[in-house]
């Protein structure tokens, strides 16, 4: 329904209109957001994309400052790597990216000034997104920005932030730079700063809609989503890949690819035996694939999951190492109402038959001998009564 009331100039909706983004494109973004977090997010509890669009549309554009540290810029790329070119712009139009070293035009002193201005203008209101790990060894000398060690920079910038989002595994727990022997002492953001609400979005890279959902939830609802004990939002990191994997039916039925390129691999069977870390990796990739195209994700293209969100998995376990499955969820088959039990083993049956035969035979033979035996015994008794005092055993021929 067209809204006749003029939207607030600073609202997202106004900005999108000014930027020439069609409402249809915005609605499409909202429906992707709905798919991102069907549950667990107050923002997406709205019943429809239109309702979500209204909720977001009325919010103010959030100011986002994006810092890079020991990163590969992959997490920035994931924001841009969308299948529809406008969507990237859309994401960047919904948020107000006030400082981003890769995407901004300025550099050098101008960049520093932009950062300072963004911090002052939106003090206490901006969302700080951190990409890349922070080196801490030797007083953080391994990375300096404008002459200052990274540790110092992140502490400075986060001091005025409303919330900190650690984007990617590097910022969440150290990522690639922290793998053995970790020469720079790379750690995640939450090791360095405290006192601010931190949301970890591990992944290498994570799905961009995770970030977008968290940011918009914060902006529209003024709160962060429910987090688990590692500060990861539950709507995206509560379940392991294995629980929702599209190839789960193959796992349940015992159809596995044993080698890359073999028949099972080509048929799309479960990659567990190739070392898929799905059962121990908390992430939402099995339901939300990348680039808005279904099937575009590692397992979908036949590459076993590496467990890129988990500190104890990726860079710690060999890629071909199979993981034990602790969360043993039930498979697709159902037991019948009456299940069988017990079996007849041939050895036991033969034994029973032999015993029955032996006892029966002995009884029959015994019964045949009674008459004659009793007669003989009676004769002996009569003989005894005639000749007492001599043992019958002596008397017999034996």
Partner 1 sequence: MSEPLNDNRWERAVPVYGFPVITRFFLALAVLIAMAFVLSGYRELAGLGPVSGMNDAFGWGIWKTFNVMVLTALGSGAFAVGISAWVFRRKHMFSLMRMALLTSFLAYACGLLLLGIDAGRPWNFYWIVFPWKWNMHSPLAEVAICMSIYAMLPLAIENVPPVLERLWYFDSRLRPTVEKIEKRLHSVFPWVISLAYLLPGMHQSSLGALMLLAGERVHPLWQTPWLPFLYLGAAMFMSFGCVAGTTMLCCLVWKRAMDMDVLTEAAEITSWLIFGWQALRIVDILYRGAIGTAFRFDRFAGVFWIETLLVVAGGILLYQSVRSRDPQPMFLGYILSSLAGMIYRFSPTTLAFRPNPEALYFPATIEIVVSLGFISLGVAGFLVAVKRLAILPAPLNAWYDMANYFRFRRPYIRWTGYFQGGYFGSDAHKAEAKSD
Partner 2 sequence: MAITRRELFTSMVKAGLPAAVVVTVGAETSEEHVPVPNAAVGLLYDATVCIGCKACVAACAEANDTPPDTRGDELHQAPTDLNDLTRNIIKLYKPTDGSPASFAKRQCMHCLDPACAAGCPFQALHKDPETGIVSWTADKCIGCRYCTITCPYHVPRFQWQGFNPRVTKCELCKHRLERGLKPGCTSVCPTGAVIFGARTVLLLEAKRRIKENPGRYYQNRVYGENDNGGTQALYLSRVPFEKLGLPELGVESVPARTLRWQRRLYQYFALPALLYVGLVQVIRKSLKGHEHEAIENEKRTGLRAQL
Q: Is 315 left (phi over 0), alpha (psi -120 to 50) or beta?
A: left
Residue 1, contacted partner among partner 2, partner 1, none, CB below 5-8 A by kind: none
Q: Do 164 and 189 contact (CB within 8 A), yes or no?
A: yes
Q: Which stretch binds partner 1 (CB under 8 A): 83-91, 116-124, 309-317, 385-393?
A: 385-393
Residues in the chain: 398
Q: Which stretch binds partner 1 (CB under 8 A): 123-131, 266-274, 303-311, 361-369?
A: 361-369
Residue 333, contacted partner among partner 1, partner 2, none, CB below 5-8 A by kind: partner 2
Residues between 224 and 283 with contacts to partner 1, criterion CB under 8 A: none
Structure token pair of residue 229? 């004990």
CA distance 68 to 243: 33
Q: Do 346 and 302 contact (CB within 8 A), yes or no?
A: no
CA 268 centroid distance within chain: 20
Residues between 245 and 264 with contacts to partner 2, criterion CB under 8 A: 252, 254
Residues between 307 and 366 with contacts to partner 2, criterion CB under 8 A: 325, 327-331, 333-339, 341
Residue 4, contacted partner among partner 1, partner 2, none, CB below 5-8 A by kind: none
Residue 112 or 243 having the CB closest to partner 2: 243
Structure token pair of residue 270? 């479960």
CA distance 93 to 83: 17
Here's the x/- map for partner 1, 310-349, by CB under 8 A: it reads as ----------------------------xxxxxxxx-xxx
φ, ψ at 286 (rounded to 5°): -70, -20
CA distance 296 to 207: 11
Here's the x/- map for partner 2, 265-284, by CB under 8 A: it reads as --------------------
φ, ψ at 148 (rounded to 5°): -105, 140
Q: Which residues bind partner 1 (CB under 8 A)?
A: 338-345, 347-349, 351-352, 355, 363, 366-371, 373-374, 376-378, 380-382, 384-385, 388-394
Give the residues lining the site for partner 2 (CB under 8 A): 252, 254, 325, 327-331, 333-339, 341
């Amino acid at each position: 329904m067209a809204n006749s009331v003029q939207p607030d100039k600073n609202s997202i909706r106004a900005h999108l209109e000014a930027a020439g983004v069609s409402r249809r494109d915005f609605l499409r973004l909202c429906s992707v957001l709905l798919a991102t977090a069907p549950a667990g997010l107050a923002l997406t509890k709205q019943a429809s994309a239109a309702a979500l669009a209204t909720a977001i549309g009325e919010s103010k554009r959030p100011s986002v400052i994006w810092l890079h540290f020991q990163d590969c810029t992959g997490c920035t790329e994931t924001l841009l790597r969308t299948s529809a070119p406008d969507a990237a712009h859309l994401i960047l139009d919904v948020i107000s990216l006030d400082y981003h070293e890769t995407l901004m035009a300025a550099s050098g002193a101008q960049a520093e000034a932009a950062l300072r201005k963004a911090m002052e203008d939106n003090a206490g209101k901006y969302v700080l997104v951190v990409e890349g790990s922070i080196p801490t060894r030797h007083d953080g000398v391994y990375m300096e920005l404008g002459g200052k060690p990274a540790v110092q920079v992140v502490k400075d910038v986060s001091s005025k932030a409303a919330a900190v989002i650690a984007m990617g595994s590097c910022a969440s727990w150290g990522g690639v730079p922290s793998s053995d022997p970790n020469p720079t002492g790379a750690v995640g953001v939450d090791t360095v700063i405290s006192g601010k609400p931190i949301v970890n979005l591990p992944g290498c890279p994570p799905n961009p809609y995770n970030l977008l959902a968290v940011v918009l939830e914060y902006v529209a609802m003024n709160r962060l989503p429910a987090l688990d004990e590692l500060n990861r939002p539950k709507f995206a990191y509560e379940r392991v890949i294995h629980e929702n994997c599209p190839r789960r039916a193959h796992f349940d039925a015992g159809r596995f690819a044993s080698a890359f390129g073999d028949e099972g691999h080509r048929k799309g069977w479960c990659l567990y035996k190739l070392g898929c870390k799905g059962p121990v990796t908390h992430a939402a990739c099995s339901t939300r694939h990348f680039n808005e195209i279904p099937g575009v994700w590692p397992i979908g293209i036949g590459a076993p999951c590496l467990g890129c969100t988990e500190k104890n998995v990726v860079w710690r376990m060999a890629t071909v190492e199979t993981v034990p499955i602790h969360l043993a969820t039930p498979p697709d088959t159902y037991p019948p109402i009456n299940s069988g039990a017990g079996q007849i083993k041939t050895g036991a049956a033969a034994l029973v038959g032999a015993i029955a035969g032996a006892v029966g035979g002995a009884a029959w033979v015994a019964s045949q001998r009674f008459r004659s035996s009793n007669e003989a015994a009676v004769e002996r008794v009569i003989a005894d009564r005639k000749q007492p005092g001599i043992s019958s055993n002596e008397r017999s021929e034996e």
